[in-house]
Amino acid sequence: MVTILKTNSQNPDFISLVKQLDAYLAVTDGDEHAFYDQFNKIVNIKHVLVFYENDQPIACGAIKQFEGNTWEIKRMFTVVQARGKGIASKILAELENWAKELEVEKLILETGKRQTEAIALYHKNAYSVIENYGQYVDVKNSVCFEKLV
């Protein structure tokens, strides 16, 4: 049985999942990991989801205000043993619902071109590729997406 906890970035299970995510990204991003890592700090994120299966944390995602009514999706991750079950799409749907409750108009996100599974996930969930924004402008290995909510 999968349960969902709305929490913040102080949650120990979220912190643990993010450490696993960072370890994964350190391998896939290679030399670029330090660049991306500086934009992925989890201090003071107020809107975090942690998914549990049989009381074990299996996935997470977060949203934070970027600019006005545009918020950014951050720290999406599913543990290897829980992949292929549609959990990541459920995280996105829950984050979108939470964004609607907060009267957010648009969600944006960045992922690396090497994150092929993530790119497929965002396409599958009706996110559109946009020009790279903010710190990702002119970063050749970044792909940015948006979705109106």
Buried b (16+ CB within 10 A) or exposed e, 39-67: eeebeebebbbbbebeeebbbbbbbbebe
Query: Over the stretch 46-90, which tens digit does the pLDDT of each residue have?
Result: 999 999 999 999 999 999 999 999 999 999 999 999 999 999 999
The residues that bridge with 109 in the sheet, in sequence order, are 145
Q: Beta strands 70-78 and 56-67: pairing type?
A: antiparallel
Q: Per-residue pLDDT for 13 more than 60? A: yes
- For residue 113 the two structure tokens come to 């071109």
Query: What is residue 35's predicted lDDT score, i.e. its pLDDT?
Result: 53
Q: Spell out the domains of the chain, with CATH numbers in brackets.
A: 2-148 (3.40.630.30)
Q: Per-residue pLDDT for 121 more than 80? A: yes
Q: Per-residue pLDDT for 92 more than 90? A: yes
**Average of pLDDT values for 3-14?**
96
Query: What is residue 36's predicted lDDT score, i.e. its pLDDT?
Result: 53
Amino acid symbol at 31:
D
- Indicate the SS3 state at residue 59: strand
**Average of pLDDT values for 135-143?**
90
pLDDT confidence band for 139 (50 / 70 / 90): confident
pTM of the predicted structure, to 2 decimals: 0.90
